[in-house]
Amino acid sequence: MTKTHSVESWSEIDFNSEPFLTDFKQIYEALHSGGCPYAHSSMGDHYAVGSHQHIMDILKQYDVWKSKFGPALGYLETPGVLVSVDPPEHTFEVRIVAECFSKEIFEALRSEMETFVHAKIDAFFGDGEVDLHEAVSVPFPLFVIHKLLGIPLEDPDGSSRIPWIRDGLITSVGTMVEPASRESSLRRLGPDHSGVAGAIRTQNMYVDHLATCKAKLESGEWEDDANIVCRFLTKPGPDGTYLSDDKILGFMAFLETAGSATTTIMLSNIIHRLLTEPGAYERVCDDPSLIPLVMEETLRLDSPVQGLFRTNDQEVELNGCQLKQDTKVMLLWAAGNLDPEVFEDPMRFSLDRDLAKVRRHLSFGYGTHFCRGAPLARMEGEIFLNAILPRLKNLRLNGEVMMEKRIPVLQGIRSLPVAWDV
Ligand code: HEM
């Protein structure tokens, strides 16, 4: 039985449709200019909110709006982690994560991160051209998250794990706003079932890694802080208990997805903006102090995540519409970032904005579930730009930029061909 219905004056949006995938920014702009930034999707049986203020209001009503059914359109049936739990469970998990996810731990990785990006650039520099998305934006965040998790990015035979990890990620994240149907499942499987095969191999990789961490800790070969998983295994929560194996496996899967798919998109979006906004690349090359603003303005205008879901624990009114209990409502970070009530001339990319005001964007969420990896994502962006800007002189687009349409919940680039002066 459906929980939602169309509402007079609200827009109808199908988040998986071609018009949406091609033109979502215009759709968000129209939501605002029409004076009613609310939408209904009969295809997905959910509502969506694009008003910056109302998204924040919802996220402050902890007793009503819950994460327990997960951040995707489907209702989560198995126990989740972090973004799929509410306090007090969330408080427990977050306390453990905070210890394993500190700024000091991120900073300790800085020089390895810099070396990684420079080595990537060294490898293609002499060619004068590359698909920057595939060459750096995809492997860099995966390198970082795998360093943190302690999982090698190569199989024992030396072959890269990135292709099948990516296949698995695209398959699992790709369905987040999709209503379950036989057609969609078959489409996701792909002609060679590579997406599902990738997801299964990735899950097995986590299971093996958990077993390795336990064995190495027991033998004394690894210390408690060898990697995040060892920390999870050895650090109790506030009540003295430890995360279960299921939870640790859930954390690995979540961190891989949350930490790589999003950051990859941010990195390519930044370069794309700099190369398509007249004079922007040169301006930032001349004045690298603009790097933080470039990152935040790109995050605002090109939010990597379109939006995520909450459900209401009780009947509630949403902008005049009475919602049944446990209705899926999508909080549209990307639309909130284009709200003219908060951002002047919101569709315009500008390096003359006030950084503090731009940082009001919702791309990292808001409130209880605010992104724990935001400092890491910002650090990756800064290292990436500090390596690319001084080295790739006269950087320019070099062919068609393809958009990534396989993952409707994310907005990003699939290939970014660029050239520079050698
Ligand atoms: C540009 C990159 C990133 C973007 C746009 C992003 C976006 C988000 C968003 C929107 C949320 C809120 C979810 C919600 O409210 O339902 C979130 C949560 C989270 N993110 Fe990120 N993220 C990024 C990078 C990262 C990285 C690099 C990591 C770590 C490796 C990370 C780890 C997390 C965690 C642990 C949470 C859950 C917080 C909680 O529930 O308490 N993210 N992220």
Question: What's the whole-model pTM score?
Answer: 0.95
Distance, in Å, from the CA atom of 144 to the CA atom of 231, rounded to the nearest integer, reads 17
- CA-closest residue to ligand 1 atom 8: 364
Q: Does pLDDT of 179 surpass 60?
A: yes
Return the pLDDT at 186. Answer: 55
Mean pLDDT on 87-105 = 87
Return the pLDDT at 236. Answer: 85
Taking residue 179's Cβ as centre, other Cβ atoms within 10 Å add up to: 17
Return the pLDDT at 189. Answer: 57
- CA-closest residue to ligand 1 atom 43: 371
Q: Does pLDDT of 130 surpass 70?
A: yes
Question: Per residue in 277-317, pLDDT tens?
Answer: 999 999 999 999 999 999 999 999 999 999 999 999 999 99
The tokens for 402 are 């393809």
Question: Per residue in 45-69, pLDDT tens?
Answer: 999 999 999 999 999 999 999 999 9
Lowest mean pLDDT among 2-6, 26-30, 71-75, 77-81: 77-81
Q: Does pLDDT of 190 surpass 80?
A: no
Q: Does pLDDT of 192 surpass 80?
A: no
Backbone angles phi and psi of 47, in degrees to 5: -110, 170
Question: Do residues 268 and 369 lie in contact, with contact meaning Cβ atoms separated by under 8 Å?
Answer: no
- 285 CA → ligand 1 middle, Å: 29
- 260 CA → ligand 1 middle, Å: 10
- CA-closest residue to ligand 1 atom 41: 369
Lowest mean pLDDT among 74-78, 136-140, 153-157: 74-78
Question: Ligand 1 pocket, 364 CB below 6 A?
Answer: yes
Q: Does pLDDT of 183 surpass 70?
A: no
pLDDT over 90 for what percent of the chain?
Answer: 76
The tokens for 274 are 């700099």
Q: Under CATH, domain 11-419 is a member of which superfamily?
A: Cytochrome P450 (1.10.630.10)
Residue-wise burial string across 236-273, b where 16 or more C-beta atoms lie within 10 A, e elsewhere: eeeeeeebeeebbbbbbbbbbbbbbbbbbbbbbbbbbb
Mean pLDDT on 120-127 = 98
The tokens for 188 are 């996701």
Return the pLDDT at 66. Answer: 96
Question: Per residue in 85-95, pLDDT tens?
Answer: 999 999 988 88
| CA dihedral of 140, 144, 150, 153, whole degrees rounded to 10 | 0
Q: Say whether 397 sits in a helix, a strand or coil.
A: strand
- Which residue is associated with the tokens 């078959």? 186
Question: Ligand 1 pocket, 70 CB below 6 A?
Answer: no
- CA-closest residue to ligand 1 atom 18: 371
Question: Per residue in 319-357, pLDDT tens?
Answer: 999 999 999 999 999 999 999 999 999 999 999 999 999
Question: Ligand 1 pocket, 378 CB below 6 A?
Answer: no
Using most ligand atoms within 8 A of CB, pick from 86, 371, 384 the residue to mutate for ligand 1. 371
